[in-house]
Amino acid sequence: DTGVSQDPRHKITKRGQNVTFRCDPISEHNRLYWYRQTLGQGPEFLTYFQNEAQLEKSRLLSDRFSAERPKGSFSTLEIQRTEQGDSAMYLCASSRAGERENTIYFGEGSWLTVV
Amino acid sequence: AQTVTQSQPEMSVQEAETVTLSCTYDTSESDYYLFWYKQPPSRQMILVIRQEAYKQQNATENRFSVNFQKAAKSFSLKISDSQLGDAAMYFCAYRTLPSGNTPLVFGKGTRLSVIA
């Protein structure tokens, strides 16, 4: 069990540029979640996948955001035409579906700073 | 919509003492989970303790225990014998059953400082 891995850990980008974050979940986990966390706030749900299917998207996920999980393993979160308000930590998490007690495990997050 | 409220933005405790962090939530569901997560500075969020709503017995994990009051929709975390390593942000979170589509809903967090 190597845990949830996220890359890059930090990204500084200019406003208007596109950025992509990658998440590798725990290997046997079929659910994968993306959350956004700004300073002084709790994480806010963005979207989640069960295997390769994106089952739910928050209204926080504007048209500039897109997430994929093409083979049901790793996932990417792309932000197009970044804005300063996108500056936040993007957290990935994973869990096993189908069990009553399925703990959600988080990665260390990817910090995005838009300048 | 479910909401989670943590009314204490910051708390402090002397090393070896006990501290209680408060959490209230709002839901119309009868079966759900409640969690406390710990997020140290620049480190990943880790699960501290979990409570299932249908279980009346309060969950305990070593120095960490909860006081779950279902009727009052209250879920406080007690940390006994506080250690320097307990200093972190603590988030209370809620979710419905695993088969549901509701993700974790977090409160805004409580920053805990431990004074040596």
Nearest residue in chain B measured CA to CA from A99: B98
For residue B16, the distance in angstroms to the closest alpha carbon of chain A comes to: 27
The H or E element containing residue B57 is none
Alpha-carbon gap: A42 to the closest alpha carbon of chain B (Å)? 4
Model pLDDT, residue B22: 98
Instruction: Please report, in tens digits, the pLDDT of each residue of chain B (116 residues total).
Output: 789 999 999 999 999 999 999 999 999 888 889 999 999 987 789 999 999 898 889 999 999 999 999 999 999 999 999 999 999 999 999 988 655 556 889 999 999 999 99
Q: Quote the tokens at residue B31.
A: 């079966």
Query: Residue A102 above 80 pLDDT?
Result: no
Q: Which helix (H) or strand (E) holds B96?
A: strand B88-96
CB contact under 8 Å between B98 and A100, yes or no, is yes
Subunit contact B98:A55, Cβ cutoff 8 A: no
Q: Is A103 helix (H, G, I), strand (E, B) or coil?
A: coil
Closest residue of chain A to B96, computed from CA coordinates: A100
| Chain A nearest CA to B107, separation (Å) | 6
pLDDT-derived band at A82 (thresholds 50, 70, 90) equals very high
Task: List CB contacts of A62: < 8 A, sequence separation 6 or more.
Answer: none
Residue A98 — very low, low, confident or very high, per pLDDT cuts 50/70/90?
low
